[in-house]
Structure 1
Amino acid sequence: MYSNLKRYTFKFSSLINLIIWRKTRYAICLFFFILSYQVLLAALQDSSNTFDPEINNNIEFPQNEEPDTAITALNLAYKISIDRGDTLPAIYTLLKKADFHGSRANYGEAYDNFWDALSLADKLSENTLIKAEIYRELGRLYSFYKREEESEAYLLNSLKLKKQLLKEKKIDSADLVRNFYAITATYREWNQPQKARQFLDSSYTYFHDKPGQLPKEFLAFEEAFVLSQLGKPEEALGLMKKLQPWFEANHPHYLVLFYTYLGDIYKQQDQSLQGQDYYERAIKTANYYQKHLDFTPLIYEKLSDVQKEMGMYQKALSSLEIAKELDATFFDSRSKRNRPILLIKDEFRVEKAKQQAVIQQQKLLSLEQKNEISWLQKLLLLFAIIFLIAIGILYFKNLRSKHIAENEFLRKKKELEIEKANQLVELKNKELATSALQLVEKDQFVKELEKRFKETDDDIKSTEVKSIFKSLSHNNSQHWEEFKLRFTSINEKFYENLIQSYPNLSQKDQKIAALVKLNFSSKEMAGLLGISVQSVHTARYRLRKKMGLKRDDNLEEIISGF
């Protein structure tokens, strides 16, 4: 995005310069300027309403001998932004207008531009960075009038905001360089090299190359000034000579300051002729580029001093008169163009407080009117909400009571069904047990009968007896099968669950388990199965072993659970 922006900026600047260069074609060039600025606005909107000093520093507006044309272009750019509702581009334009007016010592207009920019900045959700930039420029503005207290307050407040943004990781550390540089330049103008040295060191500490960064040559220029004031004029002169080609090629309008301080160094070394030459160069540069005009009174004073030292008293007097005239024009309170600057000390803060008070009053009045109109509606709405809540609570309680009653009914019904089923199973198990006991008694009777037959002396055919007992034995097996079927029909899942849990149980083990479930004693089991009581004990032991039961486990309780 930045590469496109720079390309559009180049086109923008070229068109503005064309307007100034060819005044006879003003209308045509202005048309192309509008188209170019529309493209520039689109590029600025891509920045998502986030202030970026890099963009502002890269936008070059016209700075030459046709200020009316340049201001017309800037005013048009501002109007386009406001009409489109583009706050950020409007702020950019106002800052450039302030820079334009400030470079021509029209500080009243410059301050108005900063004030308007601050007002627009309040409309942005993220405005800390842009306020820091404006505070920095306001500090520089106050410094030109030697209002040191106000100037330092704005400059340090700007630096404080930037450091807070750096702490929040919203800006890069290199973004502090311009603030340190501005404070350094201010102390240079106030001729306080020690303080200038302190903030210059901070500038170097935070400096690293990044897009839009202040060129390091500006820091080197400040360093040359500090060296010249701290008794090292030769080092300062050598550094200035190295910097001169760069400034001539890249920032020729800044040569106004550069030539002036270079003349100071030559004057320090008693090279008055060279000093006079560079002072005159500085004046010509200021008049040519119409930049740093506020610096020209000081340059003429310096030129007057060096001319006086050289014995050129008439020229010295003439230079001094020009210096006084320019000083009155730029800085005298009687000057029409600068009279408003004496009234701006707290104008922004006072106006801001007034605006906030008016807005607050309007909000209170609006709120009172709304309360008077809608209080009845709110009361009715409140009653309606309470009524609905009450209805909802009653409905919920009724529904909950009904649900609880239904659940209780279903629970009792299920318990009753389970109880009836258990009673039925228990009854049938009792019948089955009775039937099994009858079979046991029958077997005992048969055995007793067999014993008596063996003991009698009556002549009975043994084959007939054997046939009778064989039939009884067969019937006995049938009785067991009938018993198993009846037991299974009553206890449907018994064998299925038992085998699923203990798949290694034999048929004999299953019989023992079924009789245990019916609470048969070992003697009753022996009679029903036709085995001895000892064999029943052995079978129960094997059953416990196969089921993996411990000595303390109750076999009857475990089997009753199936």
Structure 2
Amino acid sequence: MKISNNLIVFTLFVAQLFLCGIVNAQIESFKGIRVLSQNYPDSAITVIKKQYAKAVGDKDLLLQGNCLQAIGWLCVNQGHYGQAQDYYFQADRIYTQLNARKLLASNWSDIGELNIFNKQHQLAKIYFNKALNSFKTVGDKNGEAGVLGNIGHLFEKEGNYDSAFVYQKRALQIYFEGANKNGEAKIHENLGSIYEDLARYDSAYYHFEKAKDLYEDTQDNYGKIVVVNNMGDIFRKTNRFPESIKLTTAALRLAERLGDVYQMAATTKDLSRTYALVREMDSAYIYAERSRKLVLELYSVDGARHTAFFQALYDMNQKAEEIEKLQVTKKINSMMLLGTILVLILLIILSYTLYSRQKIKIKNQIAESRKQEAERELTEIALKNQLLEDKQLKQELTLKEQELTSHTLNLIRNNQFLEQLRDELKEMVKDERRDQKKQMQKMVVQINDNITQGVHWKEFMGTFERVHHSFFEKLIQRFPELTSSDMRLIALLKINLNNTDIAILLGISQDSLRVARHRLRKKMGLEQGEDLAGYLLGVS
């Protein structure tokens, strides 16, 4: 279902390139990505990379925006949602600069779909509504229908089937009136999915069959695989096993012809289920084993392709930076050449003037000497200002370190006092005087709740961030599984506190501290015997 959704979005993107006047060779290159990206995402990003390099070289902002949106789509298709969002936002800035409202609407629709994958449904609705209003303004019916279908899909995800039906049927009507068979097929597929969720299998089968016929008319075999397999699922769920096997096998054969490993794995898995239900265990085992091997192959190939995908993405960014640097260098060289020519002209005029008038020469020499003296003075003043700024920065850093030390000492004293008071109260609780015992127990609980809590920790962590700028951000990038408790322990180790003070600050025993340090070492992948505190002190 996801692959089919993305194909429709990407097809709309190709249409946008055509409408914006991109040359025919570029159009064909982008169209080929629709098929190429299914099994070769690394090759698809390479094609986009070449287009983007050309766009940067030609200073073609429109093509740059289209390439960035295409890269965002490819990242979504590979499950890299963070990178996708970054590229979509870059495209958004370019389209906004160009006031390309139709392309902005398409990009907003893509961002909305991305937020469905990220489970940010409210944010998805905001972007879908922006896209819908923009498409209506520019009179793009296909774009409007595509967004309505996405909103219906969002309501389906939320279990709001009544609203999902309303939006899907509005989209279907627009596609039908515009004779957009591929769009109609997608909406019928969405409606079939909703009816299947509601266990209304007859209606689901009807819409899947309509989608299949439309995909056949448009020769969209990738969409056809999905709906044929869905029809097989409907027969399996209604215990019509021979029909289910026939349709699922047809979907498998089509996936094999297209080399779509993902759908091959899905169809063989469904065949295994169906054969198991009819007690044909040999066939069930054969297809289950084949599905398992295809999944392993898919993971293996995907891993290599993801690596190649990111390498191509990195190369593209590097290439774009190099092109920009070359352009800047070329501009500087042109300015230097122009400056040299101007200087030569001035020197010729000056030489002629000096030859004819000796007094002017002396006057110019004096003026030049004064100018150089003024420049030296300005340079010395700038150097002194820089030294003062450096000195001020060092003083500020020293003050922040002192503040951090002060916060740490306050936390230690506070916790030591509370621990001492807690221990005394525990001894008093053991006393036989029952009239004080309940009150003292309450005090013990309150002290436990307040150890290492309150504003001191927030102030300490804030001061630590100011002293060790971006330390936690860099550490999280290396070790994303670190928790807030790990961060507290890391901060105390970073400022080189001993184990006794750390245990007091964290309100735990020495044994618990050893366990926490051991777990932190495992999360950071440190070898046996490697010093944890020393490693953290070395992280800048």
Q: What TM-score, normalized to structure 2?
A: 0.43
Q: What TM-score, normalized to structure 1?
A: 0.41
Greater fraction helix: 2
